[in-house]
């Protein structure tokens, strides 16, 4: 059974220069445990689709069904709960808070839970160890390399144990060695059961994923296996 079903989703934005149809009747099914790449030229709708999938951006028409939940039929409070339970985001810029340590940055998503502070610290430390930064928990972001900052961002995205990780161009600003380390980490997380959806422009990243789909002008086209 599919973990995620995008059903005939259309998304239009109204702006100064009229209406933009960013997604046009898009349908897509994603199984639990997939590592999916979303490809397509700039402006084709990748970020919009990612935000719709992540419960951040209601479609103009159509539905998102995740784990049998009709996501955008939820009221705003339940939608926030849904995001907290299911979704981890890794942004292009790491968006770490500069005056918080790695550990404190990773603890941020736990702040809204009712878990005791000590337990939050233990959970954050555990995921930092998982991404290989166990000994650097008390460093500030500017005392970490770019790749290490990236791993902190991933640790923060997975600390809630979400079912799905969304990553928008996660290797975009990384050198090839650091990019490879990030993809290895994603692969390990994917093998432990996380579903990962990654926007990427980089053809080499396709060697790591289980499937790629291509968007052009708001229309989704599956890429054949041999491509
Ligand atoms: P991509 O991620 O592939 O670059 P986007 O999803 O960001 O594509 O954008 C798809 C189209 O929708 C583009 O024409 C973009 O300008 C437009 N768009 C995206 N977000 C907004 C918004 N918040 N308001 C108006 N137009 C938007
Ligand atoms: P990316 O490089 O991740 O595709 P984008 O430039 O597509 O980044 O989008 C960055 C942010 O700006 C997104 O939140 C998107 O919704 C918003 N955005 C993109 N295009 C427009 C637009 N034409 N008008 C308003 N917001 C936009």
Listed by start position, the domains of the chain span 2-221
The pLDDT, as a whole number, for residue 223 is 65
User: How far, in Å, CA of 52 to CA of 82, rounded?
Assistant: 13
User: For residue 163, what are the contacts with CB-CB under 8 A and spacing of at least 6?
Assistant: 3, 32, 67, 85, 86, 87, 194, 195
The pLDDT, as a whole number, for residue 161 is 86
Secondary element (H or E) of residue 225: none
Cβ–ligand 2 contact at 11 (below 6 Å): no
In 3D space, the residue among 107, 100, 198 whose CA is nearest the CA of residue 157 turns out to be 107
Helix-helix angle 146-158:117-130, to 10 degrees: 130
Phi, psi for residue 67 in degrees, rounded to 5: 50, 45
- CATH for 2-221? 3.40.50.300
User: How far, in Å, CA of 56 to CA of 137, rounded?
Assistant: 30
In 3D space, the residue among 193, 201, 194, 197 whose CA is nearest the CA of residue 211 turns out to be 197
Residue nearest to atom 14 of ligand 1 (CA): 43
> Which of 10, 24, 37, 47 should be mutated for ligand 1, with most atoms under 8 A from CB?
47
**End-to-end alpha carbon distance in the chain:** 26
pTM: 0.83
Residue nearest to atom 10 of ligand 1 (CA): 45
Report DSSP state, residue 213: E
Question: What tens-digit pLDDT sequence spans the chain (227 residues)?
Answer: 799 999 999 999 998 878 999 999 999 999 999 999 999 999 999 999 999 999 999 999 999 999 999 999 999 999 999 998 999 988 766 689 999 999 999 999 898 888 999 999 999 999 999 889 999 999 999 999 888 898 899 899 999 889 999 998 888 777 888 788 889 989 999 999 999 999 988 888 888 999 999 999 999 986 655 44
- Which residue in the block uniquely carries the two structure tokens 């999916």? 36
User: How far, in Å, CA of 103 to CA of 62, rounded?
Assistant: 39
What residue ranges line ligand 1, CB within 6 angstroms?
A: 13, 15, 20, 22, 40, 42-48
The pLDDT, as a whole number, for residue 50 is 95
66, 86 contact by CB (below 8 A): yes
What is the value of ipTM here, to two decimals? 0.68
Report DSSP state, residue 37: E
The pLDDT, as a whole number, for residue 93 is 64
The pLDDT, as a whole number, for residue 166 is 94
In 3D space, the residue among 112, 24, 11 whose CA is nearest the CA of residue 56 turns out to be 11
Q: What is the pairing mode between strands 164-168 and 87-90?
A: parallel
């Amino acid at each position: 059974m599919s973990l995620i079903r995008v059903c005939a989703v259309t998304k239009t934005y109204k702006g100064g220069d009229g209406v933009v149809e960013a997604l046009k009747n898009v349908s897509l099914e994603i199984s639990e445990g997939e590592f999916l790449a979303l490809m397509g030229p700039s402006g084709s709708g990748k970020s919009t689709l990612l935000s719709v999938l992540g419960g951040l951006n209601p479609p103009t028409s159509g539905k998102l069904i995740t784990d049998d939940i009709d996501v955008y039929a939820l009221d705003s409070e339940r939608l926030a709960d849904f995001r907290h339970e299911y979704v981890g985001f890794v942004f292009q810029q790491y968006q770490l808070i500069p005056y918080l340590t790695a550990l404190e940055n990773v603890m941020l998503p736990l702040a809204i839970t009712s878990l005791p502070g000590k337990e939050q610290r233990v959970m954050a430390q555990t995921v930092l160890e998982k991404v290989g930064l166990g000994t650097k928990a008390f460093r500030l972001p500017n005392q970490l390399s770019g790749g290490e900052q990236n791993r902190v961002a991933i640790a923060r995205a997975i600390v809630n144990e979400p079912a799905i990780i969304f990553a928008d161009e996660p290797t975009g600003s990384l050198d090839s060695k650091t990019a490879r380390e990030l993809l290895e980490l994603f692969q390990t997380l994917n093998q432990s059961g996380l579903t990962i959806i990654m926007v990427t422009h980089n053809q080499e990243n396709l060697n790591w994923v289980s499937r790629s789909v291509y968007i052009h002008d708001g229309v989704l086209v599956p890429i054949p296996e041999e491509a």
